[in-house]
Structure 1
Amino acid sequence: MATGHTDPQRRARIVAATLDLVAEEGVAGVSHRKIAVRAGVPLGSMTYHFSGIEEVLREAFGQFAGHIVAVFDAHLAAAADREEAREAVTDLVHTLSEGSGRDLVLAQELYTLAARRPAYRELTHEWMRRSRHHLERHFDPDTARQLDALIEGLVLHRALAREPHDRALTREAVRRITTTGR
């Protein structure tokens, strides 16, 4: 196994392993030892690359938030007009709610941490700001804020429902919120 100085991917593997563990066991199940084993790195790499578990978690959740923002961008970037943006938001809700559930679990773990710890609240504020930025390309700021909240709620409801609602309901909810404004 390469040393920390010659293994430039070690830090990235630690972060990825952290997200995997949080998705499987929750934040409460994460430890330096479990992360090191999952990442395939010596335990000492944890303290070499990070000052503590909080730094690992903040970086991991920062990376996760960036991933979700990239999903927003991938859906909304090509929309040329308001109607295409509405359809892109509908697609986004269904993409986020129909996946493996990993992103949903990670989002809820981050929200729980943010509700308790200000450092994580800053991560969620930045995530929301960046997500709204993508929405504001197509909608006024107030509508973008409402739409962002709608997306979060619909994703959660669809992902956890025994019988998730269909695209028509999502499309109608998006249309209702986006009928006014720019």
Structure 2
Amino acid sequence: MTGPAEGAPAAGTAGARRRAVAPDKRTRQPTEVRRRLILEAVVPLVIEHGASRVGVRDIARAAGVSVGTVTYHFGGVREILSEAVSIEIDAYYRPLGERMLACPTAAEGLTTLIEGVFSAETDRHWRLWFDNWAADASLEPDSRQHRRYEEWSDRVAELIARGRDRGEFRCRDVAETTTRFNALVDGLALRRLRGAPPLSIEQARAHLRRFLTGELGLEPSPA
């Protein structure tokens, strides 16, 4: 029985042979596809390892592209993470804002809001955001992130103003109430992620309900 001819690939290497396509024969993906692959790859890496432990090579490997492709499209890990966080913010807040403003009453919108900012799915968002911020707090705020947070704050203010105008709430200063609410959300989210002391999702929601009850003159929920 004769073996494979010299230089022929051994059995089981077909997959490797297919991957080793000559550069001039490779199918080049559109720029936006490659950028999206890179941005999608960085999120689970940061959540698992932390932003400070993720490098360009890690991102390239996870995205299935070369290091050169990553550096061609982005100036470094910080730029990739900043853009990925902007996308995450939009995906997190935009649907929630639409749901709460579509509720028949502003009071129902508040319930949707409270349940939306703390749920089984939101820890991922908070971990990504805080890790991005903590990785280099000296950086100037990203304009895209800043704009998206302003839009979110506007949606919360719109909900509160709607309830006030319809007589559901009493609120002397919608802007101030909105600022305090968002600050409380951020603080509770950080405490939940740190776990010192532990804070459950329902406990975080209860803090928000108590705040809004007092701030908006609502009837306390039955114990």
Q: Same fold (TM over 0.5)?
A: yes
Corresponding residue for residue 154 of structure 2: 133
Q: Which moved more, 1:35-44 or 1:67-76?
A: 67-76
Q: Deviations over 1:116-137 (max 9, x none)?
A: 21144x4553342122011021
Q: Give the structure-1-normalised TM-score.
A: 0.80
Corresponding residue for residue 144 of structure 1: 178
The CA deviation at 1:12 is 0.4
Corresponding residue for residue 41 of structure 1: 65
Question: By percentage of residues, which structure has more helix?
Answer: 1
Change (3 A) 1:149 1:71: farther
Q: Deviations over 1:124-167 (max 9, x none)?
A: 53342122011021122222222211222333445535352275
Corresponding residue for residue 174 of structure 1: 212
Q: Deviations over 1:82-111 (max 9, x none)?
A: 31122122212332xx33732221121133
| Superposed structure 1 runs of 4+ greater than 6 Å apart | none
What are the within-5 Å matches in structure 2 for residues 18-167 of structure 1?
Answer: 18-95=42-119, 98-99=120-121, 101-113=123-135, 115-120=137-142, 122-139=143-160, 140-158=174-192, 160=195, 161-162=197-198, 164=200, 165=203, 167=205
Aligned residue pairs, count: 177
Q: Which whole-Å CA distance do the structure 1 matches of 2:176 and 2:199 have between them? A: 31
Q: Deviations over 1:41-67 (max 9, x none)?
A: 122111222233332222112112212
CA contact (8 A) 1:82 1:138 kept: yes
Extract unaligned runs of 5+ from structure 2. 1-18, 20-25, 161-173, 219-223
The CA deviation at 1:4 is 4.3
Using CA pairs below 8 Å that are at least 6 residues apart, which structure has the higher relative contact order?
A: 1
Q: Give the structure-2-normalised TM-score.
A: 0.67
Q: SS of the residue aligned with 1:116?
A: coil
* Percentage of identical aligned residues: 24
Q: Which whole-Å CA distance do the structure 2 matches of 1:75 and 1:114 have between them? A: 33
CA contact (8 A) 2:42 2:59 kept: yes
CA contact (8 A) 1:131 1:148 kept: no
